[in-house]
Amino acid sequence: MEATLSVEPAGRSCWDEPLSIAVRGLAPEQPVTLRSALRDEKGALFRAHARYRADAGGELDLARAPALGGSFSGLEPMGLLWAMEPDRPFWRLVKRDVQTPFVVELEVLDGHEPDGGQRLARAVHERHFMAPGVRRVPVREGRVRATLFLPPESGPFPGIIDLLGVGGGLLEYRASLLAGKGFAVMALAYYNYDDLPKNMEAMRMEYFEEAMNYLRSHPEVKGPGIGLLGISKGGELGLAMASFLKGITAAVVINGSVAAVGNTIYYKDETIPPVTILRNQVRTTTTGRASSMPMRSPNACRPTGRRSPRSSATQQQGIILSPLTSRCAVLACTSWWVPTSPLEGSPSLTLWPSWMHGSNSRLSSTNTDFHVSNRSSWSI
C-alpha cells in the first residue's frame, strides 16, 4: 500500500490557522522522518524535521503521536512549522508581500535519517496572510503612511493600530491576519518608509495622533475609541500613545519597554528623554550575538519640558510611561508568557522585561496600580 500524506485544510490555509497533518499507508510501527521546508521572498531556505513511529495500524497522526527527536520532540502538532530554522545565520522569517502566500513543502522519508531515507510521500501547502475577501487599502492621508485591512463583510468594526518594532518600514502581516478575525486593522509605518524620517531619533506623538484620528473617523470603524497592538519599539510607542492621546481604549504590548529607549518622545510642549544603551559595555560573542546591552542609569532621565500627567517619575527611576490615569486597559506580556484573564476595572499593568528586552530589574512606580516585576514574582 502506498503511503499518503494529508494536510487539512487541504491545499491552503491562513498563516495563523492550525493544520492537521497525518500519514497513512505505512507499515505497522514503521520509523519515518517528516521534513518541512519553505523559501522566503529573498530565497532563504527554512527547514525542520522530526522523527516519528507509525502506530500498529500503519498510521501517523501528529495530533496524537509525539516526535521522537529532530528539530523538536514531544507532542507538537504544528512543530514542523514553528521549528523551521534558516540556512543563513541570524536570518528572520518576515512576510513582506501579504498578497502572496508562503509555500510549504512537506515530505515523509523512510527511517530516521532526515537526509538519507527514501521519500514515501509529499504534499505542498500554501499559507496565506489574507483570508478570502479581506480588503487591503493603502493609506496616504496627510502625513500618515499606512495600510488599512478591512474584513470581508460590511462594518463598522473595532479599530486597531498595529505597530511593529525597530527596522521601520511598513510590514503588514499581522494586520492582514487580524482583519480576517473581524477587526479593522491599520498597519502604521513611523520611520524608514516613503517620505517618513529615515531614523527614529525623535518620535513625535502628533504623527501618531493624526493616524489615530484618521482611523477613528473612518466610516467602517466602530467608535468612539480604538485599540493598539505593539511589539518591541511598537509596544513602547503604544504605551506613549495610551499615555498622551485621548481615544485609545485598549492596548496590547508585547515585549515593550516602559521608558523611551534610544530616542526622545515629544508631544506638544512635553518631552520624554531616552534611556540610552551604554554601547562601550556591549560585548559580542564569537557567534556574533551581543552578550549584554547595559542601560544608562534611569537616574540620568530628567524631563526637559512639562511632565505629562500620564507619566510617572521618581528620583531613582526616571520617567516611566504609564497610561493609568487614562481610561485605557493595558495587557502587556512577553513572548513566553501570555496572560489568559482580561484586565477588569481600573486599568492596571504588569510588564516583564522592564526597561527593555532581557532586563531583570524590578521597578514600581508611584502609582500602586502599576507594577513592573520579575517573572518569578508573579502568581498566576
Which CATH number is associated with domain 135-377? 3.40.50.1820
The rounded average pLDDT for each run of 10 residues, N- to C-terminus, in the chain (380 residues) is 94 95 97 97 96 97 97 96 92 94 97 86 97 97 97 94 93 96 97 93 94 96 93 92 91 86 90 79 68 49 40 42 58 46 32 35 27 27
pLDDT given for residue 115 in this prediction: 76
Fold classification of 4-128 is Immunoglobulin-like (2.60.40)
What sign for the dihedral angle of Cα 108, 109, 114, 118? negative
What tens digit of pLDDT does each residue of 20-58 get? 999 999 999 999 999 999 999 999 999 999 999 999 999
> Model's pTM, two decimal places?
0.78
Q: Which of 221, 268, 246 is nearest to 328 (CA)?
A: 246
Name the residue ranges covered by the structural domains of the chain: 4-128, 135-377
Q: Which of 121, 162, 118 is nearest to 6 (CA)?
A: 121
The single residue listed with the C-alpha cell 483570508 is: 131
H helix or E strand, kind and range, residue 206: helix 205-216
Q: Which residues of 343-377 are buried (b: 16+ CB within 10 A; e: fewer)?
A: eeeebebbbbbbbbeebeeebebeeeebbbeeeee
